[in-house]
Structure 1
Amino acid sequence: MEITAGGLLEIRITPADVGKRVSVRRVEDGGRLPPSFTDTVGVLTSWNEGVLTITRKDGVSVRIAESSLVAGKTVPPAPARRRGPAASFEELARVTARAWRPLESEPLGEWTLRAAEGFTRRANSVLPLGDPGIPLDEALARVTAWYAKRGLPAYVQAATGAVGTQEPLCAELERRGWVNEVSAEVRIGALAPVGDADVDEAALSAVELTRAPDEDWLGRYGKVRDPELARRMLVEGPSVWFASLGGGRAIGRCVVDGRWAGFAAVTVDPEHRRRGLATAVMTALARRALEEGASAAWLQVETGNPGARALYDGMGFATHHAYHHFRAGR
């Protein structure tokens, strides 16, 4: 917090700082002695009628009464803590989008409306990389109507936690009753360490790489209501590879796109977990991606998946930003 030479806390933010990253301290209203304080860091997304809204990097918006503030200041963007390649948010957003191509899309200003008959939220949500070109309420009305015409719920995929991400949009969606149904992290790392991972050579040699998923692969993936639709979607991408070990005991998917290799659908039969099979699958895919000239890796992992997060931690992946799927309120 900002402390003067006399040791006093100061409030050095005003409504003119909306849109900037700030750090504030507020006193909790509980009549405790000594008083209790709470610190919040995030983007100041609004300051209206005596209430501040600060959107944290995890996408959660915190409302704070102006009267409870005891200190506040603007702070620089969060430092990059990732290991491996440097990447902008926009570069990663476009690379990850190409790995989950929709069956149809339509521009709305700098937004892209995407639909794929409901297969994966990533291909059935709005990608808002800029300004829709019309007022937000009108844009959201068009979004809702576009998805309703296709018999789909309306989702907006908005990101937080990196320079250029969409904390203000998250706050505006939340204010309008849109619900954050799921959050995930986009993690990045160098590709070579994944290809050089300490892995059981017998398991690695048993990994089969193909250009399309077979029945065993789809069965292990377990998110398939329409196998033909799933195949159409999963094979789309710049250079897509599927890995399978032991008739579907462990599977994975990798999309090679320039310098990037994107990993997805790494899944292991519960009876065969903790045997290094996921590592074997990822190592085999990484080696193929290295052969195609990739040098950096990315993946997406939901925040409620501690097992996968621990695996990726061990491989050197670090969080670049988070994204959230907001669904239109009913």
Structure 2
Amino acid sequence: MDHLETLCARAWPALAEVPLGDWLMRAADGFTGRANSTLTCGDPGVPVPLALITVEGFAREHGIKPAAHVIRGSVHEEAFEAAGWRVDLDHPGGAESLVMTGPLEKFASGVAVSRDLPGWWDMTAGSEVTTAQRHVLGSGGDVCFASLTEDGTGDGTVTAAVRGAVVEDVLHVARLAVRPSHRRRGLARRLMGELAGWGLERGATTCALQVAEHNGAAIGLYEELGCTEHHRYRYWTPAVS
């Protein structure tokens, strides 16, 4: 679990990343919980209560809410609770997420072309793209800005978009979105198939997806593609911050 989380972190790099032993403190101006929390895999090199004080200081320095990305059931959870931290039930994306994995060859169909289109950014980041968004989405291994367009040529309106990044033999998949007017047409499945083909060409064999537990539609799609739950993680934050 720790290794997979580390690969996912490498595929989703924050603007600021500072190691704390094996942990990784991250900040990206508030863009996504993953890029603005401390990944707590392994040993921080100091007692956990002291490590959490350092994590809070890092968060204050970067103007973000103190948060820790913690694997569900890990050895650190009891120490977090004892130090006065709690599961962040108010997290905008949900307190708990699934990490799902699956073999790319099972659903690969075609090969995606990476196109840095304005419409891709509109669908995955919004109309006004920040420096943090460009860094997180545009960095991290071999990155693919995959999309489908209305006319199929690349010049029309973007109807579906997804971001992929290959790190070692894992294709990290994120920001899958389909325009509301074009849903229920199989575009998400088609786009995932093309992204899988792109990943296979770059030596990836497995995909990894991090999806909020309440996102039943996405989980259902990934299960249909042959992905299964690998583990879960939760965000923890100081009870008083």
TM-score, normalisation: structure 2:
0.87
> Which residue number corresponds to residue 32 of structure 1?
none
Aligned pair partner of 1:133 in 45, 48, 68:
45
Number of residue pairs the alignment of both structures matches: 227
Q: Greater helix percent: which structure?
A: 2
1:233 matched to 2:162: no
The 2-side partners of 1:137 and 1:227 are apart by 34
Q: Can you list the C-alpha shifts for 1:36-69, whole angstroms capped at 9, x where unaligned?
A: xxxxxxxxxxxxxxxxxxxxxxxxxxxxxxxxxx
Structure 1 pair 242/146, CA: closer, same or farther in 2 (3 Å)? same
The equivalent position to 2:188 in structure 1, one of 278, 292, 295, is 278
Q: Please give the secondary structure, in 1, of the residue aligned with 2:158.
A: coil
Shift of 1:223: 5.3
Partner of 2:21: 109
Q: Deviations over 1:104-138 (max 9, x none)?
A: 22122221111122222111111112222222222
Residues 119-177 of structure 1 show CA distances to partners (whole Å, capped at 9, x for unaligned) of: 2211111111222222222211111111101111111000126xxxx1x3223323413
Match of 2:78 among 171, 174, 198: 171
Q: Distance in 1 between matches of 2:126 and 2:232?
A: 22
2:100 aligns with 187
Q: Which residue of 267, 290, 314 corresponds with 2:224? A: 314
CA distance in 2, matches of 1:190, 1:135: 38
CA contact (8 A) 1:255 1:262 kept: yes
> Do the aligned residues in 1 keep the contact of 2:115 with 2:147 (CA within 8 Å)?
no
CA separation in 2, counterparts of 1:227 and 1:209?
A: 24
1:66-87 alpha-carbon deviations (Å, 9 max, x no partner): xxxxxxxxxxxxxxxxxxxxxx
Identity of aligned residues (%): 34
For 1:313 and 1:104, locate their aligned partners in 2 and report how far apart those are by CA, in whole Å. Answer: 34
Aligned to 2:154: none
Flag the structure with larger Rg. 1
Residue matched to 1:295: 205
CA contact (8 A) 1:153 1:328 kept: no
In the alignment, structure 2 segments of 5+ residues that lack a partner are 150-156
State the shift of 1:225 in Å.
5.4
Query: What is the alpha-carbon root mean square deviation over aligned residues?
Result: 2.0
* TM-score, structure 1 normalization: 0.64
- Distance in 2 (CA, whole Å) between partners of 1:144 and 1:218 is 32
